[in-house]
Structure 1
Amino acid sequence: MIGRHLMRPDTMHAVLLTGHGGLEKLDYRTDVLIPQPKPGELLIQIAAAGINNTDINTRIGWYSKAVNEGTDTGGATGFDSVDDDDASWSGTPLTFPRIQGADVCGYIVAVGDGVSDARIGERVLVRNMLRTYVDFRPYECWTIGSECDGGFAQFVVAPARETHRVDCDWTDAELASIPCAYSTAENMLHRAGVGAERVLISGASGGVGSAAVQLAKRRGAEVIALSSVAKAEEVRALGADQVLDRNVDLVAELGTGSIDVVIDLVAGEQWPSFLDVLRRGGRYVTAGAIAGPIAQIDVRTLYLKDLTLMGCTFQEDEVFANLISYIEAGEIRPVVAKTYPLRDIAQAQEDFLVKKHTGKLVLIPPEVSS
């Protein structure tokens, strides 16, 4: 008996992360015990789970301050310099094995004490930045798939109050593209108060970047996107007003003081130019540094232009709730580049690192046999 709903079998297919390192640390198993929902939790049968940078960053220990390179450098093989003590979102060492996967789309199949049986059968998304487990304290959260088990499995438990029913005609793979990428993008725009302004978005063909393009357009912004030349038309189709090569000289192309808000997911060597193109009183917002976490700043640029720099991880409750309303109102739609069987997670992550796709790569677990 699981929760208040009889379930069989007792075990499930899941990918166990056995430690920080390369792709060899991903162990596909068929004998993992199905978790049981505690009071206030739900059991969800997973229909699809998207792949995100954070899944790879967590696996390779990229969040450790001992790592100075970009994600791609150690994405397949890991890093030799990782300090396990600070290699997570929270800075608290991970416990292994861990089932990763920040994106959870599925169907409620059982409930714990204190949760209505009426929720069984709902198609849901789980907020990826969970606040229940830290008593909703400001600027604290657990990332599903990092501080607790996530979506790379057939089943997962999640807090009922942070599991949202979604009514729409999207596929499961499309819905699974939303939690991490779209909440990250919406949070950046929300924190910066973006409106009908001129916005520059880096990494615009990726999961978060493509979400940011759509969500910024929804707010009435003029969007200038940075992407590879090969993906320019695809990014323009997302709604970008202008697409520039990601290696362009931004000051020469756009001019100093020409941008109201920079939404940055890349950082790396190009970082100083983002501040140069911001207008006086402009805002720079970041939630990623895939090209490298170490950047140089001329503090004179910061204070003489009255700039605001914002780092975004923690999300207020309304951010995810707003995304659900956008979905149900038909105001956004993700791009799914490709789906893979869950057992092919290593290949999917290799393809993710090559970055030849636009949008999201999504894993589909096997059907559950009764």
Structure 2
Amino acid sequence: MRAVRITRHGGPEVLQQADVAVPRPGVGEVLVRVVAAALNNTDLWTREGAYGRPGAPTTLSGWRGPIDFPRVQGADAAGRVAVVGAGVPADLVGRRVVVDPAVYDADGPDANPVGLMGSERDGGYAEYVTAPAERVHDMSDSPLTDDQLATLPTAYGTALGMIERGRLRAGETALVSGASGGVGLALVQLARARGARVVAVSSAPKAGAVREAGAHAVVDRAGDLVGQLRAAAPQGVDVGLDVVAGELVGAGLPLLREGGRWVIAGALGGYDVAFDVRRLYLHNAQVIGSAMHTPAHFALLADLARGGAVRPVVAATYPLDRAAQAQRDLARREHVGKLVLHP
């Protein structure tokens, strides 16, 4: 089969297409013929080795540690079950599925992700990928296209994990940073679907697309951000859904209402942050780290997708041999929505 792999950390030039053996599903696993594979920032950062390690933030590392090269990239995959391994019901063959890419630390619905397809195990930049049977979700009845299904795992899984960990409720006000990106747009859609009032931060040229996704108000990240946010949410913010971090954390915490929650799942603006700790303990506020999702979160996401409650935006598609160009385009951040490969 054709696959796009990395053999070392580096720029897009380290992506190499190769002919490799079709993987065999082990006990309790399935083989999925990949129809669509979405791109994410985690693909870029894994390729670059940008995640660092505890106590050594500049050390080259995959999502959770050293990568076993060569590694097939790609955290997101949707397709059809082609073969089942021992112990897996045969009626899964032919099913249209989306793959939960997380490797969890335990069994059970509330397990934490400690690994990821495309980093700790081979991913979806290939014609076939294996996955544990309990991590493939039957989407045969979903109204979403294969391309839309492929956008769900990382972006929408991360977004729903943030919303669940932040305990966002109907009627509350949510602030969404980086709202035109993959996770940001998912946060806007999911928070709106939950009944929250959504105040989004985006660049001015992309504000229309963010409003179309469901934001009640969009503020320009290049302007007086705090002033705009206070005007858009004069009563304060209940939950900050932040994929930017950096200076936004210190600026945003004073915007929280009593008992507010600030959830961080990215560091596009920088991982070294500073804030006034009094804004936490004097107002019973919380800063919450959120990495991906739990099995329970992903099951909820699958239910939403089956019912068509979310409608992912696909900005562009590419053949597999243009994976490097697709990653370059992703890094430029000139699009709104998701980029998708067709293996």
TM-score scaled to structure 1, two decimals?
A: 0.87
Equivalent residue for 2:85? Answer: 112
Equivalent residue for 1:284? Answer: 262
In structure 2, do the counterparts of structure 1 residues 323 and 314 end up closer, same or farther at CA, with 3 Å as the change threshold?
closer
Equivalent residue for 1:194? Answer: 168
Q: Which of 220, 241, 246 does residue 216 from structure 2 map onto?
A: 241
Q: Which of 178, 187, 207 does residue 152 from structure 2 map onto?
A: 178
Which residues of 2 match residues 108-147 of structure 1 at below 5 A? 108-131=81-104, 135=107, 138-147=111-120
Return the alpha-carbon distance in structure 2 between the equivalents of residues 257 and 330 of structure 1: 32
Equivalent residue for 1:23? Answer: 12
CA contact (8 A) 1:257 1:280 kept: no
Return the alpha-carbon distance in structure 1 between the equivalents of residues 59 and 100 of structure 2: 28
Equivalent residue for 1:212? Answer: 187
CA contact (8 A) 2:32 2:130 kept: yes
In structure 2, do the counterparts of structure 1 residues 18 and 36 end up closer, same or farther at CA, with 3 Å as the change threshold?
same
Equivalent residue for 2:30? Answer: 42
In structure 2, do the counterparts of structure 1 residues 140 and 170 end up closer, same or farther at CA, with 3 Å as the change threshold?
closer
Amino acid in structure 2 at the alignment position of 1:130: V
Secondary structure, counterpart of 1:174 in structure 2: helix
Percent identical: 46
CA contact (8 A) 1:66 1:83 kept: no
Return the alpha-carbon distance in structure 2 between the equivalents of residues 331 and 269 of structure 1: 33
Task: Give per-residue Cα distances to partners, 1:103-159, cap 9 Å, x unaligned.
Answer: 01010000100011111000101112233x755584343211111001000000000
Deviating more after overlay: 102-111 vs 244-253: 244-253
Secondary structure, counterpart of 2:20 in structure 1: strand
Return the alpha-carbon distance in structure 2 between the equivalents of residues 21 and 117 of structure 1: 41
Equivalent residue for 1:342? Answer: 320
Equivalent residue for 2:123? Answer: 150
Amino acid in structure 1 at the alignment position of 2:24: Q
Cα RMSD, aligned residues only: 1.9
Task: Give per-residue Cα distances to partners, 1:180-237, cap 9 Å, x unaligned.
Answer: 1001000100111111201100011111000000100111000001111000111100
In structure 1, list runs of 5 or more residues that go unmatched: 1-11, 69-80, 366-370
Return the alpha-carbon distance in structure 2 between the equivalents of residues 258 and 122 of structure 1: 46
CA contact (8 A) 2:157 2:301 kept: yes
Task: Give per-residue Cα distances to partners, 1:255-279, cap 9 Å, x unaligned.
Answer: 3861111000011233311112111
Equivalent residue for 1:251? Answer: 226
In structure 2, do the counterparts of structure 1 residues 140 and 103 end up closer, same or farther at CA, with 3 Å as the change threshold?
closer
Task: Give per-residue Cα distances to partners, 1:255-312, cap 9 Å, x unaligned.
Answer: 3861111000011233311112111211000111112111112212222222101001
1:165 aligned onto 2:154: no
Return the alpha-carbon distance in structure 2 between the equivalents of residues 265 and 352 of structure 1: 16
In structure 2, do the counterparts of structure 1 residues 152 and 209 end up closer, same or farther at CA, with 3 Å as the change threshold?
same
Return the alpha-carbon distance in structure 2 between the equivalents of residues 296 and 22 of structure 1: 30
1:17: how far off?
Answer: 0.9
Return the alpha-carbon distance in structure 2 between the equivalents of residues 314 and 170 of structure 1: 22
CA contact (8 A) 1:48 1:363 kept: yes
CA contact (8 A) 1:127 1:179 kept: yes
CA contact (8 A) 2:244 2:269 kept: yes
1:356 aligned onto 2:303: no
Amino acid in structure 1 at the alignment position of 2:8: G
